[in-house]
Amino acid sequence: MSTQRGEDVGRRLVPAAVLAVLVPVAVGVGVYFFGTRHTPNYGNGLFGAHGTVAVDLKAQLSSALLGLAFVQLGLALWMYGRVPGVRSAPRSVPLGHRVLGFLIFLFSLPIAYHCLTTYGIEMSSPRVAIHSFTGCALYGAFAAKIIIVRSRRLPGWLLPVVGGLLVLGVALLWYTAALWALNGDSVPGFSSV
């Protein structure tokens, strides 16, 4: 009887797992192909700002996005009882976590759109290549998180892993571009070329 039950679970898990892998990969690859096939327009603006002013604005917006991602991480840790010495999260925290996640996604779109249409996917240096690939992967991870949140068939550990990868992705994007711009085109680990 336990063999039958295990087979049933396996049959239900496979489509969910395939979906949780294929859709995010398709999103990331789609962003990559758009970025490599699109002709960059270095004159694009961001909320009316152009050139270095647009880069500075994007760096400031990215810094705010990073702060929101850390708030999101804190809410997740609180929700799952992983903050030592802090009482259980009230019922409003999961709703706040979902709403903030949606707002973070929306907040990221103008930044990503500007990067993608202005520069595309570039491989001119290790820093830029890491930034480009991380940007593609970030939107794949967003798709994965939505699928995992909605699925009751996937292992429970997968959700915090993908959530952590999202925060890591935002931090890496910030480090390779926003901090770079805010720090006079320099960050530890990457040459200023």
The model's pTM is: 0.88
* Average pLDDT of the residues of the chain: 91
pLDDT at 114: 96
Residue 81 sits at φ, ψ, to 5 deg, of: 65, 35
Dihedral angle at the C-alpha atoms of 110, 176, 130, 147, nearest 10 degrees?
A: -50
* Residue range 95-113: mean pLDDT, rounded: 96
Confidence of residue 42 (pLDDT cuts 50, 70, 90): very high
d(CA 101, CA 94): 10
Q: Enumerate residues 6+ apart whose C-beta is below 8 A from 4.
A: none
d(CA 156, CA 165): 15
Dihedral angle at the C-alpha atoms of 6, 21, 108, 90, nearest 10 degrees?
A: 0
Pairwise pLDDT comparison (30 vs 193), residue with the higher score:
30
Residue 91 sits at φ, ψ, to 5 deg, of: -60, -25
Residue 61 has pLDDT above 70, yes or no: yes
Pairwise pLDDT comparison (14 vs 183), residue with the higher score:
183
Q: Which of 72-76, 87-91, 106-110, 189-193 has the lowest mean pLDDT?
A: 189-193
d(CA 175, CA 9): 41
d(CA 134, CA 142): 12
The amino acid at 131: H
Q: Which of 2-6, 38-42, 135-139, 172-176 has the lowest mean pLDDT?
A: 2-6
* Of residues 119, 155, 151, the one with CA closest to residue 135: 119
pLDDT at 193: 57
pLDDT at 40: 94
pLDDT at 191: 78
pLDDT at 164: 95
Confidence of residue 154 (pLDDT cuts 50, 70, 90): confident
